[in-house]
Amino acid sequence: MLPTIPLSLCLFFGLTTALAVGLFYEAAGRSRRVLGLLLAVLLVQGALALGGFYSHHVATSLPPRLTLALGPPLLLLLGRVATARGRAYLASLRLDQLTLVHVVRLPVELVLYSLFTHGMVPRVMTFEGRNYDIIMGLSAPLVYYLLRQRGLSRRVLLAWNVLGIILLTNIVTTAVLSVPTPLQRFGFEQPNVAILYFPFIWLPAVVVPIVLLAHVAALRQLLAPRRP
Q: What is the pLDDT of residue 177?
A: 96
Q: What is the pLDDT of residue 126?
A: 97
Number of domains, the chain: 1
Q: Quick check: 48 and 54 in contact, CB under 8 A?
A: yes
The reply to whether 226 falls in a domain is no
The reply to whether 208 falls in a domain is yes
CA dist 225 and 215 (Å) reads 18
The reply to whether 227 falls in a domain is no
The reply to whether 228 falls in a domain is no
The reply to whether 2 falls in a domain is no
* Interval 94-131: pLDDT, tens: 999 999 999 999 999 999 999 999 999 999 999 999 99
Q: How far is CA 83 from CA 4, 191, 216, in A?
A: 45, 38, 14
Q: What is the pLDDT of residue 227?
A: 58
Q: What is the pLDDT of residue 58?
A: 84
Q: How far is CA 74 from the centre of its chain?
A: 11
First to last CA, the chain: 54
Q: Quick check: 9 and 108 in contact, CB under 8 A?
A: no
> Helices 32-50 and 67-82, interaxial angle, to 10°?
160
- For residue 100, the enclosing domain spans 7-221
The reply to whether 1 falls in a domain is no
**Among residues 165, 205, 207, 170, which one has the least CA distance to residue 65?**
205
The reply to whether 198 falls in a domain is yes
CA dist 28 and 166 (Å) reads 24
Q: What is the pLDDT of residue 59?
A: 76
The reply to whether 40 falls in a domain is yes
Low-confidence ranges of the chain (pLDDT < 50): 228
